[in-house]
Amino acid sequence: MRDPAFPGTAMAYHPFHAPRPADFPMSAFLAAAQPSFFPALALPPAALAKPMPDPGLAGAAEAGLHVSALGHHHQAAHLRSLKSLEPEEEVEDDPKVTLEAKELWDQFHKLGTEMVITKSGRRMFPPFKVRVSGLDKKAKYILLMDIVAADDCRYKFHNSRWMVAGKADPEMPKRMYIHPDSPATGEQWMAKPVAFHKLKLTNNISDKHGFTILNSMHKYQPRFHIVRANDILKLPYSTFRTYVFPETDFIAVTAYQNDKITQLKIDNNPFAKGFRDTGNGRREKRKQLSLPSLRMYEEPCKPDRDGGESDASSCEPSAVRDALHSPVGALPSPLRLKGSGREEKLGADSDAEVEKAPEERPVATSPGGEDATPRGSPRCPDERSKERRSPEKAKDGASPREGPGEGLFGTRGLEKDKVEGRRKEPEPGKKDAEGGGLGKEAFAPLMVHTDSPPHLSAGHLQSLALSGLHGQQFFSPLGAGQPLFIHPGQFAMAPGAFSAMGMGHLLASVTGGGSLENGALSSAPGTAGTATPFPFHLSQHMLASQGIPMPTFGGLFPYPYTYMAAAAAAASAMPATSAAAAGPLSRNPFLGSSRPRLRFSPYQLPVTIPPSTNLLTTGLPASLNPGSEGSKAGSSRESSPLPDVPLHKGGSQRPAASPKGSLKESLNELQNIQRLVSGLESQRELSPGRESPK
């Protein structure tokens, strides 16, 4: 919808023949990037809509099996996976993604979703689960998800509402969580909802399990990605189709702030059943704490579960549950006053892609009551925000958001690329329960898809290249049936330029011990437009400051440091818009031969190829991280959840887990630079145990 030239169907942008900037206007690329990266958004990506088969790839064999002599089509489809490097010329897909349990998410969203983060790692509660359709049945896909900062604000829950409490703290590198079933055929993925419950959140910056490290009291936005690739090794060369569900954003907390959220969790999370007011007598404390005042609407108690004897608080729970099960879900959202952020100021830094954002997406409902939580805007008021916003403590959506851009990138700028009708609840006028001020656009019912060409956001690109920096010990020692993590290293650069090159990027195995943590810092998506050159050496420094090992360039991909540095330098010199023009190259430095060919194109100099063997072959399953830890008799593969994780073992430059405080400080320096680049998220690695819990 946003851009008519932008086919709603996700026509993958294929990074073939990189040296053909003309074919890759970058529009697609930028679409999914930060708000500030949308200047070229209007460019017709049609040129790239159809993947171009790479003539030089036909003969390559995958996994040692080669069947080039066969005819294609049905048989070919089945054999597709056999041909590793063969371009998916014939693959025709148009992925549709819907969020599972949308109703429940909406319930939380209306109240301002909170996710507890703990040292030991915490799952997300409304489980992030999506249903995918429209994939090529036989083609292989890798599905991933990550969680990025939604803005650059720090929040505090005051007077029963969330308020901005200053500028965001530096973000730790974010991990790209590869669904453990990856790669799998479209048919397999579409068979049933794809869940990401194994992804855990933590506030432990020294986490060695591969969990996603978040800052407490900061807002985050989960993202889902679809990549058509039959091997994880190809991720760096592949097209990412990103989908963002605004209703899944949340504020990370170490302890629940909003009692209503707590109640919602208790009422819907089976593991918290013990805290439900089932009338069995136990658990009554929290019950009435603050709910009476906070709960706005009185829903007819539905004693459908746990008997019926429920007190005031028990009523809501059942309602919530119903919402989860009912097709329409969402009763007139309880206590959801006008959100803030409605009056986004499109001015200044948000480039040129903002115009629609305000319309399409109601800037996310504000968390607290009707408070002014900068949901939809990526940028936060910094410290000044406090001044400006402090007054709005009352309850109107007042001066909610100054951030003109959308959320990280999907939250705002991309949302229309593909608006899939959610199952229901699409009624735009769905009460005013939503964000008051933002009520204008049907917020919840609209699903934002950052797929189509735009998927190659800066953040993505980051995670596509530079992996060469890592590579050493991607796989953690624990490896039992766990997912992989990609660590798109963060490299602050000229907006879009360097970052677009895909610097930084880590693939880590499932289990804990992964060591290789590369990529640089995470990015604060909010600010953009301000091009701040970010010399490569700086990024290296950043990595080091984070305790992220800078392998002797033992990354996965044959991407020489030197090249990247040069590119970065060049990119840094380019204006934001020019960065877009440099698209093809920026996007993926490996595009030289277009496919993962490895025919050593100019961009694929075999120089300084990293030693890491981990990511190579198959990928996922091979997620054991021996390195440090040595042979710990205690835990054995397949039974170790992820306790004994060496992290950083192999990396020589790894300063050892840096203390939280100091690290934060060092990160702060870069934070500023990163903010300017927007959309850049760094990644880490490691991973939880692959197999079963024990």
Nearer Cβ to DNA, position 604 or 640?
Answer: 640
Measuring CA to CA, which residue among 373, 363, 347 is closest to residue 407?
A: 363
256 binds, among its own copies, DNA, none (CB under 5 to 8 A by kind): DNA
Choices 251-259, 371-379, 528-536, 615-623; region in contact with DNA by CB under 7 A: 251-259
> CB under 5 to 8 A by kind: which of DNA, its own copies, none does 123 bind?
DNA
Q: Which helix (H) or strand (E) holds 144?
A: strand 140-158
User: Which stretch in 230-238, 279-287, 330-338, 584-592 sits in contact with DNA by CB under 7 A?
Assistant: 279-287
Check: CB of residue 34 under 8 Å from CB of residue 679: yes
Nearer to DNA, 466 or 642 (CB): 642
Cβ proximity to its own copies: between 68 and 390 the closer is: 68
- Dmax of the chain from CA atoms? 72
Q: Smallest distance, Å, CB 231 to its own copies?
A: 4
The residue (of 234 and 336) whose beta carbon lies closer to its own copies is 234
Provide the residue count of the chain: 694
User: Strand ranges (DSSP E) for 180-236?
Assistant: 184-185, 194-195, 200-202, 212-213, 218-228
Kindly state the smallest distance separating residue 240's Cβ from DNA, in Å.
Answer: 27
Element (H, E) at 585: helix 583-587
Q: How far is the CB of 101 from its own copies (least distance, A)?
A: 10
| Binds DNA by CB under 7 A, chosen from 4, 270, 300, 661 | 270
Residue 341 exposed, middle or buried by CB count within 10 Å (0-12, 13-18, 19+): buried
Taking Cα atoms as reference points, which of 211, 217, 242 lies closest to residue 151?
A: 217
3 state SS of 130: strand
Min dist. Cβ of residue 95 to its own copies (A)? 14
Show contacts with DNA in window 210-229 (CB under 7 A). 216-217
- Residue 255 touches which of DNA, its own copies, none (Cβ within 5-8 Å per kind): DNA
Helices within 404-507 (DSSP H only): 458-464, 497-500
Element (H, E) at 422: none
Site for DNA in 137-156 (CB under 7 A): 156
Interacting partner of 85 out of DNA, its own copies, none (Cβ under 5 to 8 A depending on kind): its own copies
**Helices assigned H by DSSP within 242-325:** 259-268, 291-294, 312-325
Q: Is 637 in the site for DNA (CB under 7 A)?
A: no
User: Which does residue 72 touch among DNA, its own copies, none (CB within 5 to 8 A, set by kind)?
Assistant: none
Count Cα neighbours of 508 within 13 Å in the Cβ-side half-sphere: 44
Cα separation, 49 vs 125, whole angstroms = 37
35 versus 121: smaller Cβ distance to its own copies = 121
118 binds DNA (CB under 7 A): yes
Closest contact distance (angstroms) between CB of 427 and its own copies is 23
Q: Give the contact letters, 78-117, x = binds to DNA (CB under 7 A), - = no.
A: --------------------------------------x-
Query: 386 is in the binding site of which of its own copies, DNA, none (Cβ under 5 to 8 A by kind)?
Result: none
Do 400 and 342 contact (CB within 8 A), yes or no?
Answer: yes
Shortest Å distance, C-beta 199 to its own copies: 9
Taking the C-alpha atoms of residue 448 and residue 462, their distance in angstroms, rounded to an integer, is 22
Contact criterion met (CB below 8 Å) for 336 and 111: yes
Strand partners for 486? 176, 507
**Partner from DNA, its own copies, none contacting 492, C-beta within 5 to 8 A by type:** none
* In the complex, least distance from residue 326 CB atom to DNA, rounded to whole angstroms: 21
Cβ 549 vs Cβ 652: under 8 Å: yes
* Structure-token pair, residue 377: 């805007």
Partner whose binding site includes residue 16, from its own copies, DNA, none (CB under 5 to 8 Å by kind): none
Q: How far is the CB of 466 from DNA (least distance, A)?
A: 30
Nearest Cα neighbor of 623 from 693, 544, 540, 689 is 689
Decide which of its own copies, DNA, none touches 598; Cβ closer than 5 to 8 Å per partner kind: its own copies
Give the footprint of DNA on this chain (CB under 7 A): 116, 118-123, 125, 156-158, 165, 203-204, 216-217, 253-257, 262, 265-266, 269-275, 282-283, 285-286, 641, 689, 693-694
